[in-house]
Chain A
Amino acid sequence: MSVDHPEVIPEVTVSSTEELKRKLNLPRKGYKIGEDDEESIEAWQKHDTMTLNFGPQHPATHGTLRMLLNLSGETVVKLDPRPGYLHTGFEKLAEYHTFNQFIAVTDRMNYLSPLANNVGFACAAEKLLGITIPPRAQYIRMIQAELSRIADHLVSIGTHALDLGAFTVFLYGFRQREFIYDLFEISTGSRLTTSYTRIGGVMRDFPEGHVEQLAGFCKQFMMVFDQIEGLLNHNKIFHDRTQGIGKIGAEEAINYGMTGPSIRACGVPYDLRKDEPYLAYDQVDFDIPVGTEGDVFERYLVRMEEMKQSVRIIEQCLAQMPKGPVKVDDHTVALPDKSKVYGSIEGLIHHFKLIMDHHGIDMPAGEIYHATEAPNGELGWYIVSDGNGVPYKVHIRAPSFIHFAMMPRLCQGGLIGDGVAVLGSLNVIAGECDR
């Protein structure tokens, strides 16, 4: 490895600020400590800071995230988030896959809630097409999205508590998550890589009896709340590690582009399910939990309440869910029923036309932005289509990326251990952050 590598930190031994500046201005594109502001050079010298790599292989980063810390003792003087270690090129992959094929790729973005990604992309593509999917498909999508929200929050709270030393919460949470994954396995055929939605509906209807199973799940789910709340809500260690940590005010959070449970913890009732209702969210009752302090502890409380509300939404969806088709009855968008394909020549032709190269869905040319309320925040899809069967460009507004960029604001000046608490509470997912 040569010293020209951008990540090589030059070894400098300096006697004065002037000398340090001169050395750092070497004509190489290296990482320069305090490159941009003079204060941090002073601070660097005054406090004799230490540079520490947090990640990309650290267990508390929950993925290949890397942060460069400048520490003075245990205090974080400077934090520099470095995304890109899990760069997978999902956005680029979209340009080589048809709209339906790309759904399989979206599974892998936020791997804690793959179905929320499936639903988000399909909704965006349908907005571009200008179609409305049948009501049953809407309710199925809502149920699946809420289930994945619960699964995501369970892992988020579980691993967060695990980082702070509470192992039991993680196990109890995972047990419930396991039930959710069993349900996914039954309805979609896969536990994690669900690929369940299709443009114009969902892959297949719920199997018979699945509704009762979901109802059974909802009934026993409340048990886990008593367990988690019993373990954490009055736990002094948890209070000390979370209260007043990573605090941010509402206005600043808005300016940073924070969304999801994190901004609701600051007291901003911003929820896309309410503000820009998609699917059938305007048909169900639910509360939007908000906090007041905007610290790590409130983010935990908001997530807990959101799970309760998700269960409420699922129960209402199960009660209201109409019978009917789960795909639009439009042969230019959705594949016809298999019985039609096997039994009629029109069905077979429509089937062929949708799948064969250079046919596919007739996407209009244009661009569209559609955002859904994913478990972590606003998951936005910006699709540019040139009328081909494949997107010209897909940009994904990933909440994790924006939250990761807020790490310096939330952690600088705090202790290094608080950084772990903040990272856990934001639930930064590397796959989504680096997409």
Chain B
Amino acid sequence: MSITVKNVSLPRGKSWIDNTYVIPVFKGLMLTFRHLFKRKDVLRYPEEKKVLPPNYRGLHMLTRDDQGREKCVACEMCSTACPADCIRIVAGDGGWEDSREKHPVEFEIDELRCIFCGMCVEACPEDAIDMTDMHNLADYTREDFIYNKERLLGVYDEYIKRHPDHAKRRDGVFKKMMNSSYFTVSDVEKAKHGTGH
């Protein structure tokens, strides 16, 4: 394979056209003027929302199985893998009416410490923790950002209402999104759901 060197210098002496200063300025103005008639690239944010890809790394959730029970087995893999050290788990014996060995008595994620790297999701052997497309977190105190188990399960309930096909979403919907042209990605969707979480 060939890698060649290419000189990109431009001749330095200014032509009289450049020195008149008027023609280049006029050309520049033409260029910017043409943009008036181009497609706009901005979103009216709170009303219009961007479609986020299914693997977006937003707020966490603790998933439930098909019978609505939490999947987590308190193995603490997620908190070990976490580079920001923001997951706190207190494990207890039993769970699911004693059919399991362990379950999380407390499960807290400090979303202010979290760097949304997704390593906890990667580390979980039970598919019990996952990330959603919710990113506009806002609250009044620091304590409000510590999400406990109930809140994280609540995030799942809210998320699954919007995306009932979550399990298939990772592959299926993605395919559909991709098959259209590139620009579909930044196309907008009128917000169908409220802004609060």
* Chain A residues within CB distance 8 Å of chain B: 97, 100-102, 104-105, 168, 175, 178-179, 182-183, 185-186, 189-190, 193, 195, 203-204, 207-210, 212-213, 216-217, 220, 227, 230-231, 233-236, 239, 243, 269, 271, 273-274, 282-293, 298, 301-302, 304-305, 335, 338, 341-342, 348, 351-352, 355-357
Contacts and interface: CB of A to CB of B under 8 A. Distances in A.
B18 A236 contact: yes
B161 interface: no
A239 B18 contact: yes
Contacts of B119: 100-101, 104, 195
B149 interface: no
Contacts of A341: 125
A283 B1 CA distance: 6
Contacts, number: 155
Interface in B2-26: 2-10, 12, 14, 17-19, 21, 24
A207 B178 contact: yes
Give the top 7 A-B pairs by smallest Cβ distance, nearest first: A209-B178, A216-B182, A101-B83, A287-B6, A104-B117, A189-B57, A269-B5
A338 B8 CA distance: 49
Nearest to A220: B182
Given A351-B125, A355-B81, A285 B3 contact: yes
B3 A182 contact: no
A193 B24 contact: no
B118 interface: yes
A172 to B, nearest CB: 8
A208 B32 CA distance: 37
B83 A105 contact: yes
Nearest to A204: B55
A228 B10 CA distance: 15
Given A179-B186, A287-B4, A355-B77, 7 more contacts: A168-B32, A178-B186, A185-B53, A193-B116, A230-B27, A291-B9, A298-B8
A208 B4 contact: no
Contacts of B18: 234, 236, 239
21 contacts: A104-B83, A182-B186, A186-B53, A189-B57, A189-B131, A190-B116, A204-B55, A207-B174, A209-B178, A212-B178, A213-B185, A230-B28, A235-B28, A239-B14, A283-B1, A285-B1, A286-B3, A290-B6, A290-B8, A305-B8, A342-B127
B52 interface: yes
B179 interface: yes
Interface residues of B, number: 53
B41 interface: yes
B19 A236 contact: yes
B3 to A, nearest CB: 5
B148 interface: no
Nearest to A217: B182
B53 A189 contact: yes
A293 B125 contact: no
B136 interface: no
Interface string B156-197: 000000000000000100110111011101100000000000
Nearest to A286: B3
A290 B1 CA distance: 19
A178 to B, nearest CB: 7
Contacts of B7: 289-292
Interface in B116-150: 116-119, 122-123, 125, 127, 131
A293 B4 contact: no
A203 B118 contact: yes
Nearest to B78: A355
A25 to B, nearest CB: 48
Contact of A356 (B24, B52, B80, B122): B80
B91 interface: no
